[in-house]
Each structure stands twice: as C-alpha cells, then as structure tokens.
Structure 1
Amino acid sequence: MSFYTSLSGLKGAQTELSTISNNIANAGSIGFKRSRAIFGDLFAASPTQSTKTIAGQGVRLNGITQQFLGGTLEQTGKTLDLAIAGDGFFVVRGQPPREELSFTRNGAFNINVNREVIDTLGSKVQLLPVDAAGMVTSTAIADMIDFTLPEFDPLDPTAVLANVSINNFGLVTATFANGNTQNVGSIAMSSFTNVEGLRPIGDAHWQATGDSGNPQINAAATGSLGQVRSGMVERSNVDLTEELVSLIGAQRNFQANAQAIETANTLTQTIINLQV
C-alpha cells in the first residue's frame, strides 16, 4: 500500500511542478493570472473499522484554480491599449460564424482592415450603446455593438477621423478633422458571481460556465467593476520570487515521495530474501 500512497504523492508533486512551471513561463504574458494546485488527502475505512488504526491512502488533486488578483499596469502610450484598474473583464465577441462571447484582461487591442477593434485572438471588442451625452442606454448583451472606428464625420463626409480617446469610465469619443466629436460607445465590461468558475481558453481569455454564473454586463466604474486605463496594459500577477520558493518546495516533495518508494522497495526486497 505504501507504494500507491507515495505514487499519489509523486503525481501530486508533478502536478504542482507543472502548475508552477506554467506560472513562471507566463510571467511576461499580458493579463495572465497565476494558478494554484489544491490537494486533499485520501482516506478510506469501513464502518466497522477503527480509524485509529488506519493510515491515509495518499493525496488527490481537488482542482487547479486561477488567482484573479490584479497585475501591475504598464504604460504603453497607445490609445487602444486598455487596462482595468480593479475588478472586471473586457467583453469580446468571436468572428462569424460562431461569434461566441469571451472575457479577457488582455487589453492589447488593434484595428483590422474593417476598422474593427480586435484583441489578440481576432475577437471584436464590445461596446455599450450611449446617447449624445455619453450616458449608457442599455446593458443588455443583445444590445452590445462591435467597437468600430468611424472613418468620416457622419455629418460631414469630408472630415476624416483625427483622434480617438477613451476616458476612465470607458467612454469612447471620436474627434474629426473639422473639430466635431462623436460618442462611439462605452467599453462593455463584465463581472461574475464566481470568477474561479470561469473556463480558461488561453491568451488571458475565459468563457462563462455554470459554475461562474452568467456575465453581468455594465459600464466601467459601475458597482464592483474597475475603471479603464487607456494607454496601459496589465502585466501578469505572477511573483517570480514566490514561484521559485514554491518550486523548491514542490521539488523537495517529489524527492521525498521518491525516497519513500525506494525505502518501501528495500523493505519488500528484504522480506523476500528472508530464508527460513
């Protein structure tokens, strides 16, 4: 039995090493959230047995959870680079035909040939509709619109787009060559009842699940949602010093379990070699 107990420890240590290695590898990834492996002990006994005479049976993986603490904000100077100072996620919609919603903290956005603002996966950034005064008129998912930069002033087709600005509340304002301005929309943001229930799909993107609950859409700085910082991106929340210390602990744990297997093997071999 000691073989299987130590084997479960080896597998647990290997999982922890893999988790820590992934954190270290993504220390420079924009919007990345570190993960932590959570373990529990294995114990089994029949109702008629005394638990005082039974040892545990090893360890099992309860789950790998991501830690959604905010990372450091880094200045880039690019208007469409966005970061969130606080909680929440940007809402992006995939390209046709599926057009699935996903949620990200990676605000390194760019423009495609259709003048759509997209993320690193090519998904389109979503905006909430606003009125002429810049007030959000709807927070329904069905009413969200793609973030598309206007090419000309709607009131003057000869006036081209000169500048785009995004304030801390996520309001996107376009300024044209003739001095006119237009409120394009407000950056759509989302929160969840249980963020640890989100399903990671890579590149600091997540999808909603039954465990996370439905997305709660709103404008920036509303409720628990943080403010938007234009010209910045959020670095990963990985602390390399902490990860390296954890790496040493996981390595020692692996070595100890391997030594326990070696000891059990030696004892078994000794018993086998006993002669009457």
Structure 2
Amino acid sequence: MAFNIGLSGLRAANADLSVTGNNIANVGSAGFKQSRAEFADLYAASVHGLGSSPRGSGVQQPHIAQLFYQGNINDTQNPLDLAINGNGFFVTKDGGEISYTRAGYFKADNQGYIVNNFNQRLQGYRADSEGRLQNGVLGDLQIAKGNHEPKASSRIEWNFNLDSSKASPTAWQNAYDEHLKANPDDKAGALEAANKTFNPKDPASYNHSTSIELFDSQGNSHHLTQYFVKTGQGQWQMKTLIDGRSPTNPESTEAAMVSLEFDSAGRLDTSKLAASGGISVGPGGLLKLEGWIPAHADGGTPPKWSANGSAAAAEGIQMDLRQSTQFASAFGVNSQSQNGYSTGQLSGVEIDERGMIFTRYTNGMTKLQGQVALADFANVQGLTALGKTSWAQTLESGEAVIGAPSSGTLGKLHSHALEDANIELSEQMVNLIVAQRNYQANAKTIETESAITQTLINLR
C-alpha cells in the first residue's frame, strides 16, 4: 500500500514540477496566464461506506487551474500592439476556427487584415466605405491601404469682426464724392464709380481681407479671398475672388459681391443681405456660391487662366457668416472652417480605448475602419487551452459574451502596449524548490517501504 501512496505522491510532485516549469518557461509570453496544480487526498472506501477512520491511499490531481488575473501592461512602439486592462479576450479566427487570447501581438498582412503571429485574423465590427460602423456582426478587421479620396468644399463658415471705427478707403470715398458732386441725385452711379476703385493688389483700396483654402472635386487647392470695403455707417461690401479670379469666369478678375449691413448693436442684419456675381442669399441669411469654375494658369507671360477639368461641389458652396460682427475693435477672424480636403495618403493607424480603429492621412483626415470586439465568459476557468497563448470555448465556460471594449464588464483597450505574463518569477522559483522537496520526500517513502519489504523477505 505504501508503494502506491508514494507513487501517487511522485506523480503529484512531478505534475507540480511540470506546471511550475511551464510557468517559468512562459514568463516572457505576452498574455500568458499562469497555471496551478491542485491536489486532493485519496481514501479507500470501506464496505457500505462505513468506518470512522479510513486509511489514506495517497494523493490525486483532479485539476490544473489557470489564474486569469491581470498582468502588467508595458508600452511598445507598435500601434497595433494591444493590451486589455480588465476582463475580456481578443477574438481571433483562422478559417472557421474561433479562439480567444490575451496576447495582443497584431500587425497588418499584405491584404490589410489585422493578424497575430499565427496569421489568425482579429475579429470586430467592421465599417463601411463611408466610415459607418456595422454593429452586431463580427468580421475580419481590415485596414484599407488606399488613398483617401478628395472632397470638394461645399460649406465655409466664418466668424469675423469688422472695425466700425474705420473710414471708407480714400480712393473709394473720393470717387463717390466726385460723382455725386457732378450728379447730385445719382447715388447708384456714385456707388458704382466708387466700386471701380477696388484693386486686390492695392491694400489702400479696401479696409480688410482674409483668405481660406478650399478644394475642387480632384483635391486641387484653391484660395478664396474676401475683401471688405466700408461704404457707409454700418455698411460694407464683401468682394470675393478665388485664386484672384472671378468665381464663375476664370478669364475675368471681377469679384463677386455681397452687401453687408450691421445694426446698432454691431450684429449682422441678415434681412438686408444682397449679393451678385454667382453668390445668392438663401433662407436664414445663408449665402451660396454657385457656378464656380475651378481654374489654373498656364506658364505664359502674362499667364492665361482656364478651367482645370475638375468640378465644384454639385450643391454649390454654402457660406455662413451670420455670426460676424462690427465692433469698435481691430479686424480679426475669430474662427473659420471649410469641409473640403485634398487626396490623402495613409500615414498612420490609431486605436482608442473603446477599440475604435482610425486611419490617419496626410490630408489631415481620419477614417473609421472598424472596432475591436472583446469576449468574456461566465466561467473562464472552463476554457480549454489550445497553445499559442489561446483558449477555446467549452460547455463549462459557457457561451462567449461579445461586446465593445469599456462596455459592460469588459476592460479597456490600450494601444502601443502588451500585457505581460502574470507570473512572479521569484514565487515560481520557490514553488520549484517545494515541488522538488516533495518529490524527494515521496521517493523516500518508496525507499523506506522497499527497505521494510526487504527486511520481511530476509526473515527466516
């Protein structure tokens, strides 16, 4: 009997050594979870289960448990290196086989799919071509490697202040006064004569100017410049040129024009807006530039301007300057924006703590490519290890609960980071010593039983 007891102890100690050795061997494996050998005693059952003091029959090893507590998170230089801080597993797929892992070594393959070191594809919620997330259906996450297509500008917003203390430009005022002196009742003619003094190359012919970049359908960059000329108390003219040319006729330098009028509080009176030269006044005081012909100049002297073959936004360019003011302070543009952009090349990838994958482009734009999904289980101890630092679902683990990082009980995601194995090396070395001593002690049990048996055999 003692032989069997000692042998069971040897097996148990050997299993403990194997488990501890495996932990030590994987101390550098990202996402690895240490194991623990769990033992229980054995007793021989008496007849009908009776008997108050059954004799022990050794030790059994009913289970090797994996401890899924958090490992340390270390920063890396790779944006596709991912670490989970909290509950959850990455979902990976190889053909039709699904597995779960905490090892966040990921990269993009030659087709742009996000894969781990074993070419298993990371699963998540994909985005369509417009960057809209397709929630609810898991798929292979992929990073589009093509260029970001350009977008023609269709909306411009300004918030500027015109200096109410400014006088009209001298040339403008002189032309107005001279015409009115010769024609006392012809204010319209005087205004027309004064307007002819505007010259975008002569800063003295206008009070203020500002410029904003906009784009045509091919992503070509253009500059829309606004020139402001004070024409009376609270009254201004805003003259618009694109690349120094008329918006609707590249062969002309005649500016499109909008008449602005401000109330006594310095606010723009949108009910008194008037426009011409391709600009119209829409509902609510929104302006719209229609008929813009994107143009370019040849290399001649002087250069000749003509259409460049691209187009403006089909819906025109909406221009919103309703928040603009006329106060007695220096001219300034408080804010301006437009929604067009040029062609962009892929310059980087970013993943936030919710698992949102964004590609960044040289044109300053970003695009959503998808969202990493995480899985959790009612009983993680019920998962079965597959090797490659991955696990498979079983009946004991229960069905995988899939969701986005930071939702429910799922942890946050860290990009540029990897989770270390949750192994304390010094603790494992102590366990190794203990397992070795247990092995030696059980070997001593067998040795002692052998000596006793030999003594009995030698009796005469």
Inter-partner Cα distance in structure 1 for 2:360 and 2:48:
79
Report the CA distance between 1:136 and its aligned residue: 5.8
Partner of 1:8: 8
Which structure's CA Rg is the greater one?
2
Q: Is the Cα–Cα contact under 8 Å of residues 12 and 61 in structure 1 kept in the other structure?
A: yes
Moved more, 130-139 or 156-165: 130-139
Partner of 2:305: none
Partner of 1:85: 85
Report the CA distance between 1:26 and its aligned residue: 0.6
Partner of 1:151: 145
Alpha carbons of structure 1 residues 136 and 196: separation in structure 2 relative to 1, 3 Å: farther
Matched, 1:250 2:435: yes
Q: Is the Cα–Cα contact under 8 Å of residues 104 and 206 in structure 1 kept in the other structure?
A: yes
Alpha carbons of structure 1 residues 66 and 30: separation in structure 2 relative to 1, 3 Å: same
Partner of 1:164: 349
> How many residues are paired up?
269
2:344 is paired with a residue whose SS is strand
Inter-partner Cα distance in structure 2 for 1:105 and 1:150:
25
Matched, 1:259 2:434: no
Q: Provide TM-score, normalisation by structure 2.
A: 0.56
Report the CA distance between 1:204 and its aligned residue: 1.4
Inter-partner Cα distance in structure 2 for 1:55 and 1:18:
29
Q: Is the Cα–Cα contact under 8 Å of residues 152 and 159 in structure 1 kept in the other structure?
A: no
Moved more, 152-161 or 66-75: 152-161
Partner of 2:69: 69
Alignment of 1:137-148 (within 5 A): 137-139=134-136, 143-148=137-142
Give, as a single letter, the amino acid of the residue that structure 1 aligns with 2:5. Answer: T
Percent identical among aligned pairs is 39
1:237 is paired with a residue whose SS is coil
C-alpha offsets along residues 79-123 of structure 1, whole Å, 9 cap, x if unaligned?
A: 0001011111111111xxx42111111101112111111011110
Partner of 2:381: 196
1:78 is paired with a residue whose SS is coil
Gaps of 5+ in 1: none
Give, as a single letter, the amino acid of the residue that structure 1 aligns with 2:3. Answer: F
Inter-partner Cα distance in structure 2 for 1:79 and 1:215:
27
Inter-partner Cα distance in structure 1 for 2:107 and 2:21:
30
Matched, 1:125 2:119: no
Give, as a single letter, the amino acid of the residue that structure 1 aligns with 2:414. Answer: R
RMSD: 2.0
Partner of 2:197: none
Report the CA distance between 1:230 and its aligned residue: 0.4
C-alpha offsets along residues 1-20 of structure 1, whole Å, 9 cap, x if unaligned?
A: 11001100000000000000
1:168 is paired with a residue whose SS is coil
Q: Provide TM-score, normalisation by structure 1.
A: 0.91
Matched, 1:54 2:54: yes
Gaps of 5+ in 2: 151-217, 219-342
Partner of 1:110: 107
Moved more, 151-160 or 66-75: 151-160
Alignment of 1:197-276 (within 5 A): 197-275=382-460
Inter-partner Cα distance in structure 2 for 1:74 and 1:49:
55
Report the CA distance between 1:183 and its aligned residue: 1.0
C-alpha offsets along residues 204-246 of structure 1, whole Å, 9 cap, x if unaligned?
A: 1111111111111000011111100000001100111111111
Q: Is the Cα–Cα contact under 8 Å of residues 46 and 54 in structure 2 kept in the other structure?
A: no
